[in-house]
Amino acid sequence: MTEPRTLFDKIWDAHVVTRREDGSELLFIDRHLVHEGSFLAFDKLKEKRAKVRRPDLTVGVADHYVPTRNRDSNAIAPELARMIRQLDENCRSNGIRLFGLTDPRQGIVHVIGPEQGLTLPGLTLVCGDSHTSTHGAFGTLAFGIGASEVAHVLLTQCLWQKKPKKMRVTVDGALPPGTSAKDIALSMIARIGADGAQGHAIEYAGSAVRALSMEGRLTLCNLSIESGARCGMVAPDETTFAYVEGRPFAPKDGLLEQALAHWRQLTSDADAAFDREITLRGAEIAPTVTWGISPEDALPVNASVPDPNAVADPSRASHIREALAYMGLDPGQPIETIAIDRVFIGSCTNSRIEDLRSAAGILAGRQAKIPGLVSPGSHLVKQQAEQEGLDRIFLAAGLEWVDSGCSMCVGMNGDIASPGQRCASTTNRNFKGRQGPGARTHLMSPAMAAAAAVTGRITDMRELLREQAR
């Protein structure tokens, strides 16, 4: 008799090649995604005069340095063109499939992986990007790795890892109208802290999680890393299978039936033990925004900025003072009085079609008071949005509608906020300077960002929903 196992255990154990005395285990990697920032790893291969071991399991994606306003490589900034060209050369010389700058399927790596059917239940998947946890929405063991680890996977298709502990986050009950997966994630991070899940793999469970679409689950798992987790996962179910079926690289016909039979076994056993359990009540989750310089600095939109003098923990009080100074906010200031200078809707967190529909639903028939940028997560998402007329809603409201890419999330491709500017953003990180030197970022859902565009301040989007219902 074997002990009950979690979803994470089942996938991890199935991929262990061998073990070392120090407790490390060598995992076989089913999918390796690389982007422009992976050039250091390719340089290591060149030094060794080596080739990629399994180019058939490696996929290149141009996204981090891709400009969103111009696809002509001869007309973009030379440093951006160099990074994009370098990825193209590295993939071509190693026989790696590339979704490059001019590919009609190009997009953000964590958007096109699921979109193309490259992300599948039960796989191990790595990428030199911390938000690789996104792919865990499919019941995939997915996590980010560093440059030396990228090189190791390129050379061996394996990776040494120490098995993390296991945490289950259960969210039960229906979410109130106007709340989303982004609000679940920010609420969880605010509760346990930016390092609260450090050393753990998270499995999300409960009726509220099961009710999420695949887009919502992708958002939830994307933000796992912001709680310090190694990865985040949702057990695959009929919602997962319906999304996967028919995708270009997904199994087909008889192979699909075999795959489904296996995927249906990828659930945590009833008595499986977790090292930590966290429970949230769906009904208590409200539209949530960040006010500070860490994703854990998050509160319901109708709350007020904390007062460091009222906080007993000296370390936390010091962090609050630092955050308020950088963000230019006053202790006790109501969050809904915070003026916003610009809006960004995009990133691997919130740039899928469901996200764009959510934002467009708030903006329809309204005018933005501040400038904003909308960057769909892939070229195919952009096409679908345009077929549905969402682009016309954004443009009519006064926002820019641009091409796909990481855009303002990383601020390394020409899309940045100016020093001191306050941005309502659907991204995943609000660190100092994340969206440009001196820029101030408030994380929120697409609907909340759209509401901020309409009013010019952080606004409870439920107010605008009520207006539409009258």
pLDDT digits (tens, 9 = 90+) for 49-103: 999 999 999 999 999 999 999 888 788 889 999 999 999 999 999 999 999 999 9
* Under 8 Å between Cβ of 167 and 273: no
| CA–CA gap between residue 206 and residue 188 (Å, rounded) | 14
Q: Is residue 120 pLDDT above 70, yes or no?
A: yes
Chosen domain end from 277, 303, 320: 277
pLDDT of residue 398: 98
Pair 22, 76 in one domain: yes
The answer to the question of residue 282 being in a domain is no
- What angle separates helix 379-387 from helix 109-116, to the nearest 10 degrees? 70
Share of the chain above pLDDT 90, in %: 95
Pair 272, 319 in one domain: no
The answer to the question of residue 367 being in a domain is yes
The answer to the question of residue 141 being in a domain is yes
CB atoms within 10 A of CB 211: 14
The answer to the question of residue 24 being in a domain is yes
Burial 219-251 (b: 16+ CB within 10 A, else e): bbbbbbbbbbbbbbbbbbbebbbebbeebebbb
Pair 149, 241 in one domain: yes
pLDDT in tens, 397-410: 999 999 999 999 99
Pair 186, 129 in one domain: yes
Paired residues of 442 in beta bridges: 424
pLDDT in tens, 372-381: 999 999 999 9
Tell me the pLDDT of the chain averaged across its residues: 97
DSSP 408: G
Its domain, for residue 32, covers: 7-277
pLDDT of residue 468: 83
* Under 8 Å between Cβ of 201 and 8: yes
pLDDT of residue 389: 98
The answer to the question of residue 406 being in a domain is yes
pLDDT of residue 76: 87
Pair 268, 347 in one domain: no
Chosen domain end from 234, 250, 277: 277
Position of tokens 């010389």?
93
The answer to the question of residue 2 being in a domain is no
pLDDT in tens, 135-153: 999 999 999 999 999 999 9
pLDDT of residue 305: 98
pTM above threshold 0.95 = yes
The answer to the question of residue 378 being in a domain is yes
pLDDT of residue 2: 80
Least confident of 231-235, 291-295, 430-434, 465-469: 465-469
pLDDT in tens, 301-345: 999 999 999 999 999 999 999 999 999 999 999 999 999 999 999
pLDDT in tens, 397-450: 999 999 999 999 998 888 999 999 999 999 999 999 999 999 999 999 999 999
Q: Is residue 385 pLDDT above 80, yes or no?
A: yes
Pair 262, 308 in one domain: no
Helices (H), 206-263: 207-210, 214-222, 238-244, 253-263
Residue 416 CA neighbour count, 13 Å, CB half: 17
List the CATH number of the domain containing 68: 3.30.499.10
The answer to the question of residue 1 being in a domain is no
Pair 74, 115 in one domain: yes
Pair 453, 323 in one domain: yes
pLDDT of residue 70: 86
Report the number of distinct structural domains present in the chain: 2
Chosen domain end from 251, 277, 303: 277
Pair 219, 250 in one domain: yes
pLDDT of residue 169: 98
Pair 237, 302 in one domain: no
Helices (H), 193-342: 207-210, 214-222, 238-244, 253-263, 314-327
Pair 189, 337 in one domain: no
DSSP 99: E
3-state secondary structure of 141: strand
Q: Is residue 469 pLDDT above 80, yes or no?
A: no
Pair 253, 314 in one domain: no
Using pLDDT thresholds of 50, 70 and 90, give the confidence band for residue 1: low
Residue 209 CA neighbour count, 13 Å, CB half: 29
